[in-house]
Amino acid sequence: MPKKFVKKYFPDRQKIKENKHLKVFGSLLHNQNLWHLNRRSFAGAIATGLFIAFIPLPTQMLIAAAAAIALHVNLPVAVATVWVSNPITMPAIFYAAYSVGASLLEIPPDAQKFAFSLTSILDSLGASWKPFLLGCFILGSATAAVGYVSARVLWRWFVIKKWLARQ
C-alpha cells in the first residue's frame, strides 16, 4: 500500500536521471538501490532528507542526492523530503534553530531592535552563527530520528493493515 502510494506521486527513474542538475552524479544514478522502495530505503531517505533540510544552504537538493547515493537510500524520497524547509517554513525553522542553540549555549536572547537592512543582518550574524548552526544540527538530528522511526512504524502499520484486509 505505501509503496504504490509513493510511486504514484513520484516521477519515473528515467526522468530523474535526465535531470540536468543530477548529471553531476553520472553513472552513480544507475545503482538499483537508489530506486528500490522498501521500508528501510524509505525510512532512510526520510531521515536523510529531514536532516539535510536543516542545513542552511541553497543547495539542499544536491546535498540530499549525494547523501542518498552515499547511504544507498531512495533518491527521489530523500530529495523530495528536503522541501520541508521551503521559503514559507524557513523563517520558523531557522528561528527555532537559533532559539535551541542559544538556550543550549546559555546565550540570552538579543533584545536589540532589528532592522531589515544588509548592515543589520551582517552585524548580527557575527554573534549568532554558533547558536544557529548548533540549533540546526540538533533539530536536524532530532527530526531525522523521529522521521526515521515514524516512517518505519507507519510502513509496518500499512503492511499489517493490508495483511489483515486479505484475511
pLDDT in tens, the chain (167 residues): 466 666 666 666 666 666 666 666 666 666 667 777 888 889 999 999 999 999 988 889 889 989 998 998 988 899 999 999 988 988 889 888 888 988 888 887 664 444 545 565 556 666 677 888 899 999 999 999 999 999 999 989 988 988 888 88
- Grid coordinates representing 77 are 524520497
- Grid coordinates representing 8 are 504514484
Number of domains present in the structure of the chain: 1
**What 8-state DSSP symbol labels residue 24?**
G
- Give the separation between CA 110 and CA 78, rounded to whole angstroms: 35
Instruction: Check: pTM over 0.85? Answer yes or no.
Output: no
Torsion of CA 42, 149, 1, 157, to 10 degrees: 160
**What 8-state DSSP symbol labels residue 31?**
-
- Grid coordinates representing 87 are 521559503
Other residues' Cβ atoms within 10 Å of the Cβ of residue 158: 16
Domain that holds residue 11: 2-166
Q: Give the residue among 51, 43, 45 at the shortest CA–CA distance from 153.
A: 43
